[in-house]
Structure 1
């Protein structure tokens, strides 16, 4: 996890002091170094003297940091294609773990269907990172609107399974849940995690118990509504 804080009093690599009720960090989650560098420059020029920036190259890194710092986040900028998640599964998991954190999807996918689905899953905005001036301007204006309180409110809680999961799932269970939501079967999860097939089956069963479901379809349905 890489953290960058702006401001003359910022210590290199030190996170800003958390202040409940006063979210102030912009968290960028993207695995491409050049994309993060571009966003860092763009956001720094507009918000550098107001909000520190945090960066993560994977969803797991972002979730690890959010576990203790979610209350500090003004907005999370999320790519849909990361090393450890694909499609809307990452958005779904962030929304379930941290329903109060506003998420703006920043993706290279210009697909109206995906944009609509992202909105249904709780994204407050969807911006295409095409590099066009209009897209970049739209991103800045969305962040500004959230910062000033005149844009989308802090994201509403999902209708089901809305209680934060940090106290219900351990790190390995969260990892397996994420892969289930990405449509991985048990064999694929075993390959991805390095676990034995038997261990994967046991973890999947424990996740079913946590959410009181009896099938993958039922579990995925909790995160799709």
Structure 2
């Protein structure tokens, strides 16, 4: 594809944050003003695809949406844009569903339970080899708000400080002592951090933090 042009079809905010965070690792330009659209239903996706003279270079789609379920979602996207590259991002770990999706022409099938590095590895082959200038056209709908370039930007300075300690391998009690805050406060911060980053554990949160640090040139 001539520019970074991706359609994300997903209705869960945490999953959207996880996908966009992974894209930010792969391409710093994969954000709201650089050719990424986020829609939350099959109907919205079809409208976006039908309005474009050329399909986007990649669609990342959940199979289960408010107005469509299972492989019917993939079939519908294929009908609208038969030559499009589709990566399925699904809550299902069922091998038969994965094989059926691949048989229907999905380029890859990624479970939502996959660790961030696995998602990145599977997504990489379907992205451009190098970052290119931002292009007009697709953009995040106004209703989606002005998303930051990376989910870590959503955190407060204190939350980032807690996350930095987590990424350094410290446990809650140690973090509390180092930052001179209560251990319960650390736990509260971590719950918020996990929610805002769209992750489930310390390892995933640490990976996103290190990607953010690298993107901002903060590695010594």
Task: Give TM class, smaller chain.
Answer: 0.5 to 0.7
CA offsets per residue over residues 16-75 of structure 1, 9 Å max, x none? xxxxx7363111111101111221122123223265211001111111111122625110
Separation in 2 of the partners of 1:52 and 1:76? 12
State the TM-score, normalizing by the size of structure 2.
0.52
Matched, 1:95 2:75: no
Residues 23 and 72 of structure 1 are in contact (CA less than 8 Å); yes or no, is this contact kept in structure 2? no
More RCO (CA 8 Å, sep 6+): 2
Q: CA RMSD in A?
A: 2.2
State the TM-score, normalizing by the size of structure 1.
0.51
SS at match of 2:54: helix
Residues 89 and 110 of structure 2 are in contact (CA less than 8 Å); yes or no, is this contact kept in structure 1? yes
CA separation of 1:32 and 1:127: change in aligned 2, threshold 3 A? same
Matched, 1:136 2:122: no
Matched, 1:33 2:13: yes
Tell me how many residue pairs correspond in the alignment.
127
Q: Which runs of 5+ in 2 are unaligned?
A: 130-220
Q: Report the alpha carbon displacement of residue 137 of structure 1 after superposing the two structures with TM.
A: 2.7
Q: Report the alpha carbon displacement of residue 134 of structure 1 after superposing the two structures with TM.
A: 4.2
Q: Which runs of 5+ in 1 are unaligned?
A: 1-20, 149-225
Bigger radius of gyration, 1 or 2? Answer: 2
Residues 29 and 56 of structure 1 are in contact (CA less than 8 Å); yes or no, is this contact kept in structure 2? yes
SS at match of 1:82: coil
SS at match of 1:73: coil
1:77 to 43, 49, 60: 60
Find the counterpart in structure 1 of residue 23 from structure 2. Answer: 43
1:104 to 73, 87, 90: 87
Extract structure 1 runs of 4+ deviating beyond 3 A.
Answer: 21-24
- Pick the structure with more strand per residue: 1
